[in-house]
Structure 1
Amino acid sequence: MKSLSVSTQIPDPYRAGLELGYALKPIKPEVVFLFCTIHYTENNEILTGILDALEQEDTIIFGNSGDGFYETKGASELGAATLGINSEGKVAWHITSANGLETEPENCTTTAISNLKAKFNNTEPDLCWIAADFRTDASRIEATLQTALKAPVVGGMAADDNRMSDCALFKNDEILRNAVVLLGAQGDFSYDIIIANTLSGVGQPGTINSAHGTHINTIDNIDAMSFIERETGKPVLQSDRGVTSLTVIDEDQPEIKRIRSIVPDLSAAEGSLGLYGGIETGKRVQVCLATPEQMLNEVRQKCLASSTHALDPKAGIIISCAGRKWLLGEQIQDEIKPVNEKFGAGFPIAGFPSFGEIGPIKTGSGYSRPLFHNMTYVLVLIG
């Protein structure tokens, strides 16, 4: 397996695409993962530039816009990063999409999954990546993935430089919105999925009494805003976006941890809380707060403890919550450093800060079903 990552900060989309494509051309990539800031997505010129430079009609491009990007050399607020992979014919790659995600996330996700399975002759891929528009209830995507696809699924919700107004998904030479894009891989390869999302609980858990979509109305029979203030001692502020979160407590599977971050912009005056993804009525939740030291220590420990004996990793993809980036500031570079320490300074990496992460949690019996997360770091190693 050959892999290579490269990034650019050329502002012109077509020229940026050319630079990325020319850099990847020597390995003749079968698939290119592309993550970039939103200004490159007004048209498909960055995709055209990559494909023109590669001069390979069958190369698949998959990815999305993000709140900046990650690449081997570090994280950046502006630019584009790519990861090219050539399995030398050992992996079959297929990409599909479906529109209408905002209003019909279940139907949209189901259609994309059905189309993907059809491309694999009605079998499951071994591993699936997902890119989705953030303007929907991501918990409904999560539920559909859990019932319609057995393969591990990793990816996230596209972002737009912290504006929460637009995003873009990439499918070969197309830029999509209000959609979901799936990339499946099947063949002779291995992978490892590392998830870091340990946050400190604050106060006592409470039970959700009333919820609708991505809004929580009441917890412990008081409005949700008052519950947060009761347990933390302060009201939810605009500066809390992505930092103050709720841990969903699964008493049957305590090792399965899901986090939903609060979006003050979406929270209502009557005391309801807006979240990046819904939580079912009857679930118990606890307020949790993130600290830079705790987050970075967990990433470092899990990266350095990852086993490479059977995997022989050749590339890595990082999907990390934009809330972590807002909290870490310049320390965001420390989410990449442990990967370089473990696998070498030139280890190919690409990724993006997201408005929601999707990935399974490793348990004693294997990987869990696909889960939607916030304030979470996902590292996918491919070998």
Structure 2
Amino acid sequence: MSSFISADVAHAKWSSLGYATLDAASILIIVSSSTVDFHRSLKMERERRLVLLDCLMAIQHNQMQMKILMAKMQAILERRKERMCWVRHWITLRPHQGAYGNLMHLLRNEDVQGFRNFTRITPAMFAEMVTRLTPRLQKYDTWYRKALPVGLKVAITMRYLASGDSYHSLMYLFYVPHNTISLLVLDVCQAIYAEYGEETISNPSTPKGWKGIAQTFSDRWNFHHCLGALDGKHIRIKAPANCGSQFYNYKGYNSIVLLALVDGNYKFRWVEVGAGGASSDAQIWNTCSLKEAIDDENIGIPPDEPLPHDDRDIPYFKSQLLLPPQDAAHSTAETPGSDAARTPSSGSA
């Protein structure tokens, strides 16, 4: 596009400004001002076009996002259409064919020992647990679903703890979906700990209490001056992310360690759980709260006393391992913490 204007146009513009004559200098001024106006308008036009282009691209991007969202919603709706029923038919048969309403009922009435083998507790203890845990575990029925009975939740959890079966295996045994079992097992374990923790795991704090434990070892095991049996147990886990070899134990799998002290009746008196599987019993013992309490002499360890039929004072101590005679031959294979015999955890208290 030309930057010049005709003489007639220049003369008309000059005349409009009130000048009578039009010389060469005046024409140059008019032509220059017209050129500047043209370039200014051209620059503004380009800016407008850039703004319009940005708006168009934003609109196209939003349209694309909307199409993607609609496609995802359509896929979800199609998957929901494939689900033909809310609950599988065989799960609805739980009250009549599931292990809780059928097998456990028969075992309770006809084979108490079988019931205890199935759940690791007696029918009376099972009934007591259901009664005491009901306020913590009871759910309300809704208009579309009935809540699972507390007894069923306790039965599933006790069978899981007793056998270590997978959730899928328990699903076909108790007629409860595996994803539901994965939630209720955790709830029941937390309720058991909250209800029975302080009552069942109590460490003596006086010489009289410790002497009672020592007397049990003397009477039942002919093992004098023993304040408890201390040993570890590896509990298999899935290794947390970015943990390295912290949980990889000498048996070749990932675990956390349960270090426990039990009395002469196999009852837990103290528990330390959560250390990485790569840690030995001695490492865990050297950093645990029980060792610290013993070193500080603030839990009432009895003073040295003579053994039966002796006159020399002997300190009380902890045994490394307590197994019944029939299991002694299997102690190496069944006790993951059997290497503790070579550690200070079996030393004098």
Q: Which TM class, normalised by the smaller chain length?
A: under 0.3
Structure with bigger RCO (C-alpha 8 Å, 6+ apart): 1
Which has the larger strand fraction? Answer: 1
TM-score (ref. length: structure 1) = 0.19
Larger Rg: 2
- For normalisation by structure 2, the TM-score amounts to 0.20
Higher helix share: 2
